Amino acid sequence: MIQLRLLGGLDLAEPHGRGELRSVLVQPKRLALLVYLALAGDRRFRRRDTVVALFWPELDAEHARGSLRQALRFLRGELGAEVLTSRGEEDVGVNRQVVECDAAAFDQACETGDWAAALALYRGDLLTGVHIADISPEFEHWLDGERGRLRRRAAAAAWSAVGEAERTGDLVAAAPLARLGVGLAPDDEASVRRLMRILDRKGDRAGALRAYESFREHLAVAYQAVPSPETEALLANIRARDVRIWESPLSGWPPAPPR
């Protein structure tokens, strides 16, 4: 199968590891079309009128459809006649028996609740560091929306995996997953508190305090804001517990006064 990698970068490779398909990678708009078709979701097809409006909004209907036909002909010629599939006269899509797309596989893993597989596939944001030239503002808007959707879904997958680890009492596994969840949604204060509680329960109170401090700095830089009273109360509780443990008679400090 042709491998189309979109998460954390961009790669399009031939079957059997024969290398990149450079002829497609150097055609920005046609590459973008392949990406758009590959991310059609469960429907697996895109309407031609939707495609032409997104990719050739400056052209009239006849010329836009002609440009679409040329682009589809190019993709079939470079990737194989079976790479695209159609349904009737108006629907076109990528043949998933020929093209394996990591972003589509990620969505499928989330649908089935296979959080480990989903998180293994999510190596970074959609098309991280990739600029596709010669595309319309409409496509850029769609791409931004899709990037955000996949990132939110990855965060939800991470927290679902955290929940599974917590139910089995595996805080060692839950902690890095919770850090990942916070990293994917750094503005979600409830998630930061959940991470702090997990680290605290795990016995890593220093890590819980660092998680708070990182979030406080993020709010200050990004929004000139401060954590909520609820988060501050949790922080105070964790700090107070540290003091109580430090001052416990079992800790050996402070030392008992001489008799």
pTM of the model: 0.87
Contacts of 58 (CB under 8 A, 6+ apart): 136
> Taking the domain 152-251, which CATH number applies?
1.25.40.10
From the candidate CATH numbers 1.10.10, 3.30.1490, 3.90.79, 1.20.120, the one assigned to the domain spanning 2-121: 1.10.10
Lowest mean per-residue pLDDT among 36-45, 120-129, 146-155, 169-178? 36-45
Q: Are 20 and 11 in contact (CB under 8 A)?
A: yes
Whether 26 and 32 have beta carbons less than 8 Å apart is answered as no
* pLDDT exceeds cutoff 90 at 129: no
* Start-end of H helices in 122-203: 137-167, 171-184, 189-202
User: Per-domain residue ranges for the chain?
Assistant: 2-121, 152-251
Mean pLDDT of all residues in 67-82: 94
Average pLDDT in the 129-153 region? 91
pLDDT digits (tens, 9 = 90+) for 177-221: 999 999 999 999 999 999 999 999 999 999 999 999 999 999 999
